Amino acid sequence: MNSELSQDIDRVLISRGQLQSTVAELGARISRDYAGKNPLMVSVLKGAFIFMADLVREITVPCTVDFMAVSSYGKGVKSSGQVQIIKDLDTNIEGRHVIVVEDILDSGVTLSYLLELLRARRPASVRLCALLDKPARRKVPVQIDYRGLTVPDEFIVGYGLDYAEQYRNFPEIAVLKREVYEKHS
């Protein structure tokens, strides 16, 4: 494994193999449910970019993709509760079947805001697909239609997830060493 990156990793929570089979299962379920519906996959940047790339390749029905960027975190590890749209969709979603693809559902603040915003644009339907669920930290209830794995209440990185924009390229989901945060705070 890439040693410069793995130096900062305390332990791996979810391996490549587990990620692969989880994503394949989600893709198979979506493919079954959306036959003939040509869904629009909406990914929330940046954290979900790797999950999105892997997920759409497991979807066997026609679909299109679009991206949004929102921010609620700044550089820290705790949500500020403020949601900002940094990049909106290019697609008109009126009448479309939309699937929002998220990396992790934490407080739910970002997602509940986003889902409300999308529903106001009169799509045919909106569902949520989240690779990871961290239920311990939920502040706002959000229905997850396609849930990958449940994770404990720890800050995790890798497979798209960052700490201060770093570690997105670590191929597994991992917990950082404590001293990494202490260096930055």
Q: Which residues bind ligand IMP (CB under 6 A)?
A: 44, 47, 72-73, 79, 102-111, 155-157, 161
Q: State the binding partner of 133 from ligand IMP, Mg ion, none, CB within 5 to 8 A by kind.
A: none
Which residue is associated with the tokens 């749209």?
85
- Provide, rounded to whole angstroms, the least separation between the CB of residue 134 and ligand IMP: 6
Q: DSSP E strands: which ranges in 59-167? A: 64-71, 84-87, 97-105, 125-133, 146-150, 156-157
22 binds, among Mg ion, ligand IMP, none (CB under 5 to 8 A by kind): none
Token pair listed for 30: 């979506």
- Identify which of residues 26 and 70 has a Cβ nearer to Mg ion in the complex: 70
Q: Which does 27 bind (CB under 5 to 8 A by kind): Mg ion, ligand IMP, none?
A: none
- Residue 34 or 113: the one with the smaller Cβ distance to ligand IMP is 113
Q: Which residues bind Mg ion (CB under 5 A)?
A: 47
The least CB distance from residue 70 to ligand IMP, in Å, is: 8
- Three-state DSSP at 59 gives coil
Nearer residue to ligand IMP within complex by CB, 98 or 173: 173
CB 169 within 8 A of CB 9: no
CB of 9 to Mg ion, least distance (A): 19
From the CB of 157, what's the least distance to ligand IMP, in Å? Answer: 6
97-105 and 40-45 beta bridge pairing: parallel
Q: Residue 81: left (phi > 0), alpha (psi -120 to 50), or beta?
A: left
Sequence-ordered list of residues with C-beta below 8 angstroms from that of 91, at least 6 positions apart, any chain? 40, 64, 66
49 binds, among ligand IMP, Mg ion, none (CB under 5 to 8 A by kind): none
- Which residues have a catalytic role annotated? 106
Which of 47, 108 has the CB closer to Mg ion?
47
Tell me the three state secondary structure of residue 174: strand
